[in-house]
Structure 1
Amino acid sequence: MSTQPLQAVSASDVASKGPEIPLNSRSSNRNRWSQLRTYISALVIVLWCLAPFYWMMVTAFRPSDSTFEMSFWPSKATWDNFVTAFAEDRGNHFALNLFNSLLIGVVVTLIGLLVGVFAAYALARLNFRFKFVILGMILGASMFPGVALITPLFQLFTDWGWIGTYQALILPNISFVLPLTVYTLVSFFREMPWELEEAARVDGATQGQAFRKVIMPLAAPAIFTTAILAFIASWNEFLIASQLSNDATKTVTVAIASFAGAQPHQEPYTAVMAAGTIVTVPLVILVLIFQRKIVAGLTAGGVK
Protein backbone atom coordinates (compact mmCIF):
# COMPACT_ATOMS: atom_id res chain seq x y z
CA MET A 1 0.00 0.00 0.00
CA SER A 2 1.59 3.21 -1.17
CA THR A 3 1.36 6.38 0.77
CA GLN A 4 1.86 9.92 -0.44
CA PRO A 5 4.08 12.24 1.55
CA LEU A 6 2.30 14.96 3.47
CA GLN A 7 2.79 18.43 2.09
CA ALA A 8 4.08 20.99 4.49
CA VAL A 9 1.88 23.99 5.02
CA SER A 10 3.52 27.18 6.06
CA ALA A 11 2.07 29.69 8.54
CA SER A 12 1.91 32.32 5.80
CA ASP A 13 -0.42 30.10 3.73
CA VAL A 14 -2.78 29.67 6.68
CA ALA A 15 -2.81 33.41 7.36
CA SER A 16 -3.52 34.20 3.69
CA LYS A 17 -6.53 31.87 3.57
CA GLY A 18 -8.03 33.19 6.81
CA PRO A 19 -10.34 31.33 9.17
CA GLU A 20 -13.05 29.24 7.59
CA ILE A 21 -16.66 30.32 8.35
CA PRO A 22 -19.15 27.51 8.85
CA LEU A 23 -22.01 27.32 6.40
CA ASN A 24 -24.57 27.42 9.22
CA SER A 25 -23.14 30.73 10.44
CA ARG A 26 -23.34 32.25 6.96
CA SER A 27 -26.94 31.11 6.57
CA SER A 28 -27.80 32.53 10.00
CA ASN A 29 -26.28 35.92 9.13
CA ARG A 30 -28.14 35.96 5.83
CA ASN A 31 -31.43 35.26 7.61
CA ARG A 32 -30.77 38.04 10.12
CA TRP A 33 -30.12 40.58 7.36
CA SER A 34 -33.25 39.41 5.53
CA GLN A 35 -35.37 39.86 8.66
CA LEU A 36 -33.80 43.25 9.33
CA ARG A 37 -34.64 44.44 5.81
CA THR A 38 -38.20 43.20 6.27
CA TYR A 39 -38.62 45.07 9.56
CA ILE A 40 -37.12 48.26 8.14
CA SER A 41 -39.39 48.09 5.07
CA ALA A 42 -42.46 47.49 7.24
CA LEU A 43 -41.48 50.39 9.51
CA VAL A 44 -41.05 52.75 6.56
CA ILE A 45 -44.46 51.77 5.15
CA VAL A 46 -46.16 52.23 8.53
CA LEU A 47 -44.57 55.65 9.06
CA TRP A 48 -45.49 56.71 5.53
CA CYS A 49 -49.13 55.70 6.04
CA LEU A 50 -49.51 57.09 9.55
CA ALA A 51 -47.70 60.40 8.99
CA PRO A 52 -50.81 62.26 7.64
CA PHE A 53 -52.94 61.02 10.55
CA TYR A 54 -50.28 62.03 13.06
CA TRP A 55 -49.98 65.50 11.52
CA MET A 56 -53.77 65.85 11.58
CA MET A 57 -53.90 65.07 15.30
CA VAL A 58 -50.98 67.37 16.06
CA THR A 59 -52.59 70.23 14.16
CA ALA A 60 -55.86 69.60 16.02
CA PHE A 61 -54.10 70.59 19.27
CA ARG A 62 -52.41 73.72 17.89
CA PRO A 63 -53.80 77.19 18.53
CA SER A 64 -55.42 78.75 15.50
CA ASP A 65 -52.61 81.32 15.20
CA SER A 66 -50.02 78.50 15.04
CA THR A 67 -51.66 76.44 12.31
CA PHE A 68 -48.57 76.26 10.11
CA GLU A 69 -46.07 75.78 12.89
CA MET A 70 -43.44 73.30 11.72
CA SER A 71 -42.93 71.16 14.81
CA PHE A 72 -43.70 67.57 15.65
CA TRP A 73 -45.69 68.65 18.69
CA PRO A 74 -47.48 71.95 19.35
CA SER A 75 -45.56 74.34 21.53
CA LYS A 76 -48.82 75.21 23.30
CA ALA A 77 -51.43 72.45 23.17
CA THR A 78 -55.09 73.42 23.46
CA TRP A 79 -58.53 71.78 23.41
CA ASP A 80 -60.23 74.86 21.95
CA ASN A 81 -60.39 73.37 18.46
CA PHE A 82 -62.50 70.45 19.67
CA VAL A 83 -64.85 72.87 21.42
CA THR A 84 -65.02 74.93 18.22
CA ALA A 85 -65.92 71.85 16.19
CA PHE A 86 -69.08 71.35 18.28
CA ALA A 87 -69.93 75.05 18.55
CA GLU A 88 -73.24 75.78 16.85
CA ASP A 89 -73.01 79.56 16.89
CA ARG A 90 -71.15 79.51 13.55
CA GLY A 91 -73.70 77.34 11.75
CA ASN A 92 -71.92 74.06 12.47
CA HIS A 93 -73.98 71.15 13.81
CA PHE A 94 -71.28 68.55 14.25
CA ALA A 95 -73.10 66.56 16.93
CA LEU A 96 -76.08 66.13 14.61
CA ASN A 97 -73.75 65.21 11.75
CA LEU A 98 -72.15 62.51 13.88
CA PHE A 99 -75.57 61.11 14.69
CA ASN A 100 -76.53 61.11 11.01
CA SER A 101 -73.39 59.24 9.99
CA LEU A 102 -73.82 56.73 12.81
CA LEU A 103 -77.47 56.13 11.97
CA ILE A 104 -76.83 55.75 8.24
CA GLY A 105 -73.81 53.52 8.83
CA VAL A 106 -75.64 51.17 11.20
CA VAL A 107 -78.73 50.87 8.97
CA VAL A 108 -76.65 50.33 5.83
CA THR A 109 -74.51 47.70 7.58
CA LEU A 110 -77.50 45.78 8.96
CA ILE A 111 -79.42 45.75 5.68
CA GLY A 112 -76.28 44.98 3.70
CA LEU A 113 -75.50 42.01 5.95
CA LEU A 114 -79.10 40.78 5.98
CA VAL A 115 -79.26 40.69 2.18
CA GLY A 116 -75.60 39.89 1.58
CA VAL A 117 -75.44 36.81 3.82
CA PHE A 118 -78.36 35.11 2.08
CA ALA A 119 -77.17 36.16 -1.38
CA ALA A 120 -73.62 34.93 -0.72
CA TYR A 121 -74.87 31.63 0.71
CA ALA A 122 -77.13 31.03 -2.30
CA LEU A 123 -74.36 31.86 -4.77
CA ALA A 124 -71.83 29.67 -2.96
CA ARG A 125 -73.87 26.64 -1.87
CA LEU A 126 -76.87 26.30 -4.16
CA ASN A 127 -76.95 25.21 -7.79
CA PHE A 128 -79.19 27.17 -10.13
CA ARG A 129 -78.98 28.57 -13.64
CA PHE A 130 -77.06 31.77 -14.36
CA LYS A 131 -75.45 31.72 -10.94
CA PHE A 132 -72.10 32.99 -12.21
CA VAL A 133 -73.81 35.59 -14.38
CA ILE A 134 -75.58 37.00 -11.32
CA LEU A 135 -72.35 37.01 -9.34
CA GLY A 136 -70.60 38.82 -12.18
CA MET A 137 -73.36 41.41 -12.34
CA ILE A 138 -73.13 42.02 -8.58
CA LEU A 139 -69.39 42.51 -8.73
CA GLY A 140 -69.66 44.58 -11.91
CA ALA A 141 -72.04 46.98 -10.18
CA SER A 142 -69.24 47.96 -7.79
CA MET A 143 -67.08 49.10 -10.72
CA PHE A 144 -69.38 51.96 -11.75
CA PRO A 145 -67.89 55.31 -10.73
CA GLY A 146 -70.01 57.07 -8.18
CA VAL A 147 -69.83 60.38 -10.02
CA ALA A 148 -71.65 58.80 -12.98
CA LEU A 149 -74.60 57.93 -10.74
CA ILE A 150 -75.06 61.35 -9.13
CA THR A 151 -77.17 62.88 -11.91
CA PRO A 152 -79.67 60.00 -12.33
CA LEU A 153 -79.98 59.57 -8.56
CA PHE A 154 -80.55 63.29 -8.08
CA GLN A 155 -83.21 63.33 -10.80
CA LEU A 156 -84.92 60.20 -9.46
CA PHE A 157 -84.96 61.33 -5.83
CA THR A 158 -86.12 64.80 -6.85
CA ASP A 159 -89.13 63.26 -8.57
CA TRP A 160 -89.83 61.18 -5.45
CA GLY A 161 -89.29 64.09 -3.06
CA TRP A 162 -86.46 62.32 -1.29
CA ILE A 163 -83.74 64.97 -1.48
CA GLY A 164 -82.54 65.70 2.03
CA THR A 165 -83.99 62.51 3.53
CA TYR A 166 -82.26 59.57 5.17
CA GLN A 167 -83.53 57.06 2.61
CA ALA A 168 -81.85 59.04 -0.16
CA LEU A 169 -78.51 58.41 1.57
CA ILE A 170 -79.18 54.86 2.77
CA LEU A 171 -80.32 53.23 -0.49
CA PRO A 172 -77.29 54.28 -2.62
CA ASN A 173 -74.95 53.24 0.18
CA ILE A 174 -76.58 49.82 0.33
CA SER A 175 -75.99 49.36 -3.39
CA PHE A 176 -72.29 50.16 -2.85
CA VAL A 177 -71.93 47.96 0.25
CA LEU A 178 -73.71 44.88 -1.11
CA PRO A 179 -71.01 43.91 -3.65
CA LEU A 180 -68.41 44.12 -0.88
CA THR A 181 -70.57 41.99 1.41
CA VAL A 182 -71.33 39.36 -1.21
CA TYR A 183 -67.76 39.17 -2.51
CA THR A 184 -66.31 38.74 1.01
CA LEU A 185 -68.78 36.08 2.13
CA VAL A 186 -69.01 34.03 -1.07
CA SER A 187 -65.38 32.95 -0.83
CA PHE A 188 -65.91 31.87 2.78
CA PHE A 189 -69.10 29.89 2.14
CA ARG A 190 -67.47 28.11 -0.80
CA GLU A 191 -64.67 26.74 1.36
CA MET A 192 -66.91 25.66 4.24
CA PRO A 193 -67.11 21.84 4.39
CA TRP A 194 -70.39 20.46 3.03
CA GLU A 195 -70.22 17.60 5.53
CA LEU A 196 -71.17 19.90 8.42
CA GLU A 197 -74.43 20.91 6.80
CA GLU A 198 -75.15 17.38 5.60
CA ALA A 199 -74.60 16.01 9.11
CA ALA A 200 -77.14 18.47 10.47
CA ARG A 201 -79.63 17.43 7.78
CA VAL A 202 -79.09 13.75 8.63
CA ASP A 203 -79.82 14.55 12.30
CA GLY A 204 -83.21 15.88 11.26
CA ALA A 205 -82.54 19.60 10.83
CA THR A 206 -84.25 21.48 8.04
CA GLN A 207 -82.38 23.64 5.55
CA GLY A 208 -83.19 26.73 7.58
CA GLN A 209 -82.19 25.14 10.88
CA ALA A 210 -78.89 23.91 9.44
CA PHE A 211 -78.18 27.39 8.14
CA ARG A 212 -79.12 29.09 11.41
CA LYS A 213 -77.53 26.67 13.89
CA VAL A 214 -74.50 25.38 11.95
CA ILE A 215 -73.55 27.72 9.14
CA MET A 216 -74.11 31.06 10.86
CA PRO A 217 -71.99 30.32 13.99
CA LEU A 218 -69.14 29.10 11.80
CA ALA A 219 -69.44 32.17 9.56
CA ALA A 220 -69.36 34.59 12.51
CA PRO A 221 -65.73 35.76 11.95
CA ALA A 222 -66.35 36.48 8.27
CA ILE A 223 -69.66 38.21 9.02
CA PHE A 224 -68.05 40.35 11.71
CA THR A 225 -65.25 41.38 9.36
CA THR A 226 -67.74 42.21 6.62
CA ALA A 227 -69.76 44.32 9.06
CA ILE A 228 -66.69 46.36 10.03
CA LEU A 229 -65.71 46.94 6.39
CA ALA A 230 -69.26 47.86 5.39
CA PHE A 231 -69.63 50.32 8.26
CA ILE A 232 -66.32 52.01 7.46
CA ALA A 233 -67.27 52.29 3.78
CA SER A 234 -70.61 53.90 4.68
CA TRP A 235 -69.03 56.15 7.33
CA ASN A 236 -66.44 57.52 4.88
CA GLU A 237 -68.84 58.07 1.96
CA PHE A 238 -68.76 61.67 0.71
CA LEU A 239 -69.85 62.01 -2.90
CA ILE A 240 -73.49 60.88 -2.58
CA ALA A 241 -73.99 62.65 0.74
CA SER A 242 -72.63 65.94 -0.60
CA GLN A 243 -75.34 66.08 -3.29
CA LEU A 244 -78.38 64.40 -1.74
CA SER A 245 -78.31 65.71 1.84
CA ASN A 246 -79.36 68.97 3.49
CA ASP A 247 -78.54 70.61 6.81
CA ALA A 248 -80.74 68.13 8.70
CA THR A 249 -79.24 64.96 7.15
CA LYS A 250 -75.67 66.10 6.47
CA THR A 251 -73.02 63.52 7.39
CA VAL A 252 -69.68 64.18 9.07
CA THR A 253 -67.65 63.94 5.86
CA VAL A 254 -69.74 66.67 4.25
CA ALA A 255 -69.83 68.73 7.45
CA ILE A 256 -66.05 68.78 7.77
CA ALA A 257 -65.71 70.00 4.20
CA SER A 258 -68.13 72.87 4.87
CA PHE A 259 -66.92 74.04 8.29
CA ALA A 260 -67.38 77.78 8.83
CA GLY A 261 -64.69 79.91 10.44
CA ALA A 262 -65.02 82.68 13.00
CA GLN A 263 -64.65 85.27 10.26
CA PRO A 264 -65.92 85.35 6.67
CA HIS A 265 -63.62 83.81 4.08
CA GLN A 266 -61.54 82.22 6.84
CA GLU A 267 -60.61 78.55 6.64
CA PRO A 268 -60.63 77.00 10.16
CA TYR A 269 -57.83 74.49 9.56
CA THR A 270 -57.37 73.58 13.21
CA ALA A 271 -61.09 73.02 13.77
CA VAL A 272 -61.24 70.89 10.63
CA MET A 273 -58.32 68.81 11.91
CA ALA A 274 -60.04 68.41 15.28
CA ALA A 275 -63.22 67.22 13.59
CA GLY A 276 -61.20 64.83 11.43
CA THR A 277 -59.54 63.44 14.55
CA ILE A 278 -62.93 62.91 16.21
CA VAL A 279 -64.16 61.04 13.14
CA THR A 280 -61.02 58.97 12.51
CA VAL A 281 -59.70 57.95 15.92
CA PRO A 282 -62.78 55.87 16.97
CA LEU A 283 -62.52 53.86 13.76
CA VAL A 284 -58.81 53.25 14.35
CA ILE A 285 -59.48 52.15 17.94
CA LEU A 286 -62.31 49.88 16.75
CA VAL A 287 -60.04 48.19 14.21
CA LEU A 288 -57.20 47.80 16.72
CA ILE A 289 -59.51 46.22 19.30
CA PHE A 290 -61.02 43.74 16.86
CA GLN A 291 -57.99 43.25 14.61
CA ARG A 292 -57.69 39.55 15.48
CA LYS A 293 -61.29 38.88 14.51
CA ILE A 294 -60.88 40.96 11.36
CA VAL A 295 -57.79 38.99 10.31
CA ALA A 296 -59.54 35.74 11.20
CA GLY A 297 -62.51 36.75 9.07
CA LEU A 298 -60.38 37.75 6.11
CA THR A 299 -58.45 34.48 6.20
CA ALA A 300 -61.44 32.29 7.07
CA GLY A 301 -62.18 29.84 4.32
CA GLY A 302 -58.69 30.13 2.87
CA VAL A 303 -57.80 26.60 4.00
CA LYS A 304 -60.20 23.68 3.85
Structure 2
Amino acid sequence: MLSKTTVLSSVLLALSVNHCLAQDNDASYEEIAAVDLSFRNAGLNPSPIPSEWMDIQAVLKVSFGDVDVANIGDTLTVAQVQTAPTYTLSETEEADEKDTFDSDRLFTVAFLDAGVYGRDNSNQVTRHFLQNNFTVDDDVLRPSSNVAPITSYGAPFPTNGDGPHRYMQLVFQQYQNFTPPSSPSTGSPIQTMSITDYYRASNGGLGKVVAANYILIEQGQATASVSSIQPVNTQSIDSLASSLSVQATATGLSTTRTSSTSSPTSTRNSSGAMASLSFPSSTLSALVTVAGAALLGGMLL
Protein backbone atom coordinates (compact mmCIF):
# COMPACT_ATOMS: atom_id res chain seq x y z
CA MET A 1 0.00 0.00 0.00
CA LEU A 2 1.29 3.49 -0.86
CA SER A 3 1.71 5.84 2.07
CA LYS A 4 -0.13 9.15 2.08
CA THR A 5 3.19 10.98 2.30
CA THR A 6 4.60 9.17 -0.72
CA VAL A 7 1.54 9.87 -2.87
CA LEU A 8 1.35 13.53 -1.85
CA SER A 9 5.07 14.06 -2.45
CA SER A 10 4.74 12.55 -5.92
CA VAL A 11 1.85 14.84 -6.78
CA LEU A 12 3.70 17.91 -5.50
CA LEU A 13 6.80 16.98 -7.49
CA ALA A 14 4.82 16.49 -10.71
CA LEU A 15 3.02 19.80 -10.32
CA SER A 16 6.23 21.66 -9.50
CA VAL A 17 7.83 20.30 -12.69
CA ASN A 18 4.78 21.33 -14.74
CA HIS A 19 4.88 24.78 -13.16
CA CYS A 20 8.55 25.24 -14.06
CA LEU A 21 7.94 24.08 -17.62
CA ALA A 22 5.07 26.55 -17.97
CA GLN A 23 7.37 29.39 -16.93
CA ASP A 24 9.69 28.54 -19.84
CA ASN A 25 7.08 30.13 -22.11
CA ASP A 26 7.61 33.51 -20.44
CA ALA A 27 9.81 36.03 -22.22
CA SER A 28 13.17 36.43 -20.53
CA TYR A 29 14.73 39.74 -19.56
CA GLU A 30 17.44 39.01 -22.15
CA GLU A 31 14.81 38.82 -24.90
CA ILE A 32 13.19 42.05 -23.73
CA ALA A 33 16.57 43.78 -23.56
CA ALA A 34 17.36 42.60 -27.10
CA VAL A 35 14.17 44.23 -28.43
CA ASP A 36 14.89 47.50 -26.66
CA LEU A 37 18.50 47.65 -27.81
CA SER A 38 17.63 46.59 -31.35
CA PHE A 39 15.35 49.60 -31.69
CA ARG A 40 18.16 51.85 -30.51
CA ASN A 41 20.72 50.29 -32.85
CA ALA A 42 18.35 50.60 -35.80
CA GLY A 43 17.86 54.31 -35.17
CA LEU A 44 14.18 53.87 -34.23
CA ASN A 45 14.61 55.09 -30.67
CA PRO A 46 14.72 57.93 -29.62
CA SER A 47 13.35 58.99 -33.01
CA PRO A 48 10.76 58.42 -34.34
CA ILE A 49 9.84 56.53 -31.13
CA PRO A 50 10.77 58.60 -28.05
CA SER A 51 12.63 56.69 -25.36
CA GLU A 52 9.99 57.53 -22.75
CA TRP A 53 7.39 55.64 -24.78
CA MET A 54 9.27 52.37 -24.62
CA ASP A 55 8.33 49.89 -21.91
CA ILE A 56 8.72 46.52 -23.63
CA GLN A 57 6.93 43.82 -21.62
CA ALA A 58 6.52 41.12 -24.24
CA VAL A 59 8.25 39.67 -27.27
CA LEU A 60 6.13 40.36 -30.36
CA LYS A 61 6.10 37.44 -32.79
CA VAL A 62 5.01 38.41 -36.30
CA SER A 63 3.77 36.15 -39.10
CA PHE A 64 2.71 37.02 -42.64
CA GLY A 65 0.60 34.01 -43.53
CA ASP A 66 3.04 31.08 -43.41
CA VAL A 67 6.06 33.41 -43.28
CA ASP A 68 7.33 33.87 -39.73
CA VAL A 69 9.67 36.63 -38.64
CA ALA A 70 12.35 34.61 -36.87
CA ASN A 71 14.28 37.51 -35.34
CA ILE A 72 13.84 41.20 -34.82
CA GLY A 73 15.36 43.06 -37.77
CA ASP A 74 14.95 40.16 -40.22
CA THR A 75 15.05 40.97 -43.94
CA LEU A 76 11.96 39.95 -45.92
CA THR A 77 10.87 40.45 -49.51
CA VAL A 78 7.84 42.32 -50.80
CA ALA A 79 6.36 39.00 -51.92
CA GLN A 80 6.61 37.59 -48.38
CA VAL A 81 4.59 40.37 -46.74
CA GLN A 82 1.51 40.49 -48.97
CA THR A 83 -0.66 38.81 -46.33
CA ALA A 84 -1.71 40.98 -43.38
CA PRO A 85 0.41 40.10 -40.35
CA THR A 86 -0.77 38.31 -37.24
CA TYR A 87 0.75 39.02 -33.86
CA THR A 88 1.50 36.69 -30.95
CA LEU A 89 2.86 37.80 -27.59
CA SER A 90 5.26 36.12 -25.22
CA GLU A 91 5.04 38.24 -22.09
CA THR A 92 7.40 38.48 -19.15
CA GLU A 93 6.43 37.04 -15.82
CA GLU A 94 6.40 40.60 -14.51
CA ALA A 95 3.79 41.59 -17.14
CA ASP A 96 1.75 38.55 -16.16
CA GLU A 97 1.84 39.66 -12.53
CA LYS A 98 0.72 43.18 -13.50
CA ASP A 99 -2.02 41.86 -15.83
CA THR A 100 -0.60 44.01 -18.62
CA PHE A 101 -2.11 41.84 -21.33
CA ASP A 102 -5.28 40.64 -19.64
CA SER A 103 -8.30 40.07 -21.87
CA ASP A 104 -10.00 43.27 -20.66
CA ARG A 105 -7.09 45.48 -21.76
CA LEU A 106 -7.11 47.36 -25.07
CA PHE A 107 -4.24 48.13 -27.43
CA THR A 108 -3.50 50.16 -30.53
CA VAL A 109 -1.43 48.38 -33.18
CA ALA A 110 0.58 50.24 -35.82
CA PHE A 111 2.66 49.10 -38.81
CA LEU A 112 4.90 51.99 -39.83
CA ASP A 113 7.71 52.58 -42.33
CA ALA A 114 10.52 54.60 -40.74
CA GLY A 115 12.53 54.74 -43.94
CA VAL A 116 16.20 53.92 -44.40
CA TYR A 117 18.58 53.77 -41.46
CA GLY A 118 20.88 56.76 -41.16
CA ARG A 119 18.57 59.29 -42.79
CA ASP A 120 16.94 62.08 -40.83
CA ASN A 121 13.27 61.16 -41.07
CA SER A 122 12.40 62.94 -37.83
CA ASN A 123 8.98 61.81 -36.57
CA GLN A 124 7.53 61.31 -40.04
CA VAL A 125 6.65 57.71 -40.84
CA THR A 126 4.52 56.04 -43.49
CA ARG A 127 1.42 54.40 -42.09
CA HIS A 128 0.75 50.93 -43.56
CA PHE A 129 -1.67 49.86 -40.84
CA LEU A 130 -3.28 51.44 -37.80
CA GLN A 131 -6.15 50.12 -35.71
CA ASN A 132 -7.40 50.67 -32.17
CA ASN A 133 -9.11 48.38 -29.66
CA PHE A 134 -7.08 45.21 -30.08
CA THR A 135 -7.43 42.66 -27.30
CA VAL A 136 -5.27 39.69 -26.29
CA ASP A 137 -6.74 36.20 -26.38
CA ASP A 138 -4.52 33.14 -25.79
CA ASP A 139 -1.45 35.36 -26.36
CA VAL A 140 -2.76 36.45 -29.78
CA LEU A 141 -3.54 40.09 -30.55
CA ARG A 142 -7.02 40.21 -32.05
CA PRO A 143 -8.72 43.22 -33.67
CA SER A 144 -12.17 44.27 -32.52
CA SER A 145 -14.95 43.43 -34.94
CA ASN A 146 -16.69 46.65 -33.89
CA VAL A 147 -13.83 49.03 -34.73
CA ALA A 148 -12.73 49.61 -38.31
CA PRO A 149 -9.04 50.20 -39.05
CA ILE A 150 -7.80 53.75 -39.40
CA THR A 151 -5.74 52.33 -42.25
CA SER A 152 -6.25 48.77 -43.45
CA TYR A 153 -3.07 46.80 -44.02
CA GLY A 154 -1.23 47.74 -47.18
CA ALA A 155 1.87 45.70 -48.00
CA PRO A 156 5.23 47.50 -48.04
CA PHE A 157 6.59 48.52 -51.43
CA PRO A 158 9.74 50.61 -50.91
CA THR A 159 11.20 52.54 -53.83
CA ASN A 160 13.55 50.47 -55.98
CA GLY A 161 17.18 51.30 -55.21
CA ASP A 162 16.30 53.31 -52.07
CA GLY A 163 17.90 50.88 -49.64
CA PRO A 164 16.41 48.73 -46.87
CA HIS A 165 13.40 50.33 -45.18
CA ARG A 166 12.69 49.71 -41.49
CA TYR A 167 9.08 48.63 -40.91
CA MET A 168 8.02 48.84 -37.28
CA GLN A 169 5.20 46.94 -35.64
CA LEU A 170 4.19 48.71 -32.43
CA VAL A 171 1.72 47.74 -29.70
CA PHE A 172 0.57 50.70 -27.59
CA GLN A 173 -1.32 50.45 -24.33
CA GLN A 174 -4.75 52.01 -24.72
CA TYR A 175 -6.51 53.51 -21.72
CA GLN A 176 -10.23 53.77 -21.01
CA ASN A 177 -10.23 57.52 -21.69
CA PHE A 178 -8.87 56.96 -25.21
CA THR A 179 -10.71 58.55 -28.10
CA PRO A 180 -9.19 58.29 -31.57
CA PRO A 181 -7.76 61.56 -32.88
CA SER A 182 -9.92 63.08 -35.61
CA SER A 183 -7.04 62.75 -38.07
CA PRO A 184 -6.30 60.40 -39.67
CA SER A 185 -9.91 59.30 -39.96
CA THR A 186 -11.23 55.77 -40.31
CA GLY A 187 -10.53 54.33 -43.74
CA SER A 188 -7.56 56.58 -44.51
CA PRO A 189 -5.13 55.33 -47.14
CA ILE A 190 -1.42 54.62 -46.73
CA GLN A 191 0.23 57.99 -46.13
CA THR A 192 2.90 59.77 -44.13
CA MET A 193 2.10 60.91 -40.61
CA SER A 194 3.71 62.18 -37.44
CA ILE A 195 3.41 59.40 -34.90
CA THR A 196 4.16 61.96 -32.17
CA ASP A 197 1.22 64.13 -33.24
CA TYR A 198 -1.11 61.12 -33.22
CA TYR A 199 0.10 60.13 -29.76
CA ARG A 200 -0.41 63.61 -28.34
CA ALA A 201 -3.80 64.01 -30.00
CA SER A 202 -5.08 60.99 -28.07
CA ASN A 203 -5.09 63.27 -25.00
CA GLY A 204 -3.38 60.81 -22.69
CA GLY A 205 -5.38 57.86 -23.97
CA LEU A 206 -2.31 56.03 -25.28
CA GLY A 207 0.28 54.54 -22.97
CA LYS A 208 3.64 52.90 -23.49
CA VAL A 209 4.83 50.74 -26.36
CA VAL A 210 4.66 47.39 -24.56
CA ALA A 211 5.64 45.16 -27.49
CA ALA A 212 7.47 45.89 -30.72
CA ASN A 213 9.29 44.40 -33.67
CA TYR A 214 10.72 45.61 -36.94
CA ILE A 215 11.69 44.09 -40.28
CA LEU A 216 13.78 45.25 -43.22
CA ILE A 217 12.54 45.27 -46.82
CA GLU A 218 14.50 46.43 -49.84
CA GLN A 219 13.90 46.38 -53.57
CA GLY A 220 16.87 46.24 -55.90
CA GLN A 221 20.31 47.54 -54.96
CA ALA A 222 20.77 50.85 -53.16
CA THR A 223 21.92 53.54 -55.60
CA ALA A 224 23.60 55.52 -52.80
CA SER A 225 25.72 54.58 -49.82
CA VAL A 226 23.59 53.17 -47.00
CA SER A 227 24.71 52.85 -43.38
CA SER A 228 24.57 49.36 -41.90
CA ILE A 229 22.61 48.58 -38.75
CA GLN A 230 25.05 47.13 -36.24
CA PRO A 231 24.14 43.96 -34.34
CA VAL A 232 23.34 44.28 -30.67
CA ASN A 233 26.27 43.59 -28.37
CA THR A 234 25.74 40.54 -26.14
CA GLN A 235 27.29 42.28 -23.15
CA SER A 236 24.88 45.19 -23.58
CA ILE A 237 21.95 42.76 -23.59
CA ASP A 238 23.19 41.05 -20.41
CA SER A 239 23.72 44.41 -18.70
CA LEU A 240 20.27 45.75 -19.55
CA ALA A 241 18.65 42.41 -18.68
CA SER A 242 20.29 42.52 -15.26
CA SER A 243 19.02 46.06 -14.74
CA LEU A 244 15.47 45.05 -15.72
CA SER A 245 15.60 42.13 -13.31
CA VAL A 246 16.74 44.41 -10.47
CA GLN A 247 13.91 46.84 -11.24
CA ALA A 248 11.37 44.03 -11.18
CA THR A 249 12.68 42.76 -7.85
CA ALA A 250 12.61 46.28 -6.40
CA THR A 251 8.92 46.61 -7.26
CA GLY A 252 8.12 43.25 -5.70
CA LEU A 253 7.69 41.49 -9.03
CA SER A 254 10.59 39.08 -8.96
CA THR A 255 10.84 35.81 -10.84
CA THR A 256 9.02 34.10 -7.95
CA ARG A 257 5.28 34.71 -8.17
CA THR A 258 3.98 36.47 -5.07
CA SER A 259 0.77 38.09 -6.26
CA SER A 260 -2.60 37.73 -4.57
CA THR A 261 -3.64 35.22 -7.21
CA SER A 262 -1.00 32.78 -6.00
CA SER A 263 -0.68 30.87 -2.76
CA PRO A 264 2.64 29.53 -1.45
CA THR A 265 3.24 25.83 -1.19
CA SER A 266 6.37 24.05 0.03
CA THR A 267 8.40 21.01 -0.79
CA ARG A 268 11.84 19.78 0.15
CA ASN A 269 14.93 20.47 -1.91
CA SER A 270 17.79 18.02 -2.47
CA SER A 271 19.35 18.85 0.88
CA GLY A 272 16.15 18.09 2.74
CA ALA A 273 15.41 21.73 3.59
CA MET A 274 12.03 23.27 2.84
CA ALA A 275 12.05 25.16 -0.46
CA SER A 276 9.28 27.60 -1.34
CA LEU A 277 7.16 27.01 -4.44
CA SER A 278 4.41 29.26 -5.69
CA PHE A 279 1.40 28.09 -7.70
CA PRO A 280 -1.55 30.02 -9.13
CA SER A 281 -4.80 29.38 -7.28
CA SER A 282 -6.16 27.38 -10.24
CA THR A 283 -3.17 25.06 -10.02
CA LEU A 284 -3.64 24.66 -6.29
CA SER A 285 -7.27 23.70 -6.85
CA ALA A 286 -6.11 21.04 -9.25
CA LEU A 287 -3.51 19.97 -6.68
CA VAL A 288 -6.17 19.46 -4.04
CA THR A 289 -8.32 17.45 -6.44
CA VAL A 290 -5.48 15.31 -7.76
CA ALA A 291 -3.89 14.79 -4.34
CA GLY A 292 -7.22 13.82 -2.84
CA ALA A 293 -7.88 11.32 -5.59
CA ALA A 294 -4.35 9.96 -5.32
CA LEU A 295 -4.58 9.58 -1.57
CA LEU A 296 -7.91 7.81 -1.89
CA GLY A 297 -6.44 5.51 -4.49
CA GLY A 298 -3.45 4.85 -2.29
CA MET A 299 -5.64 3.88 0.64
CA LEU A 300 -7.67 1.56 -1.56
CA LEU A 301 -4.59 -0.26 -2.85
Taking structure 1 as the reference length, the TM-score comes to 0.25
Structure with bigger strand share is: 2
Structure with bigger helix share is: 1
Q: Point out the structure with max Rg over C-alpha.
A: 1
RCO higher in structure (CA 8 A, sep ≥6): 1
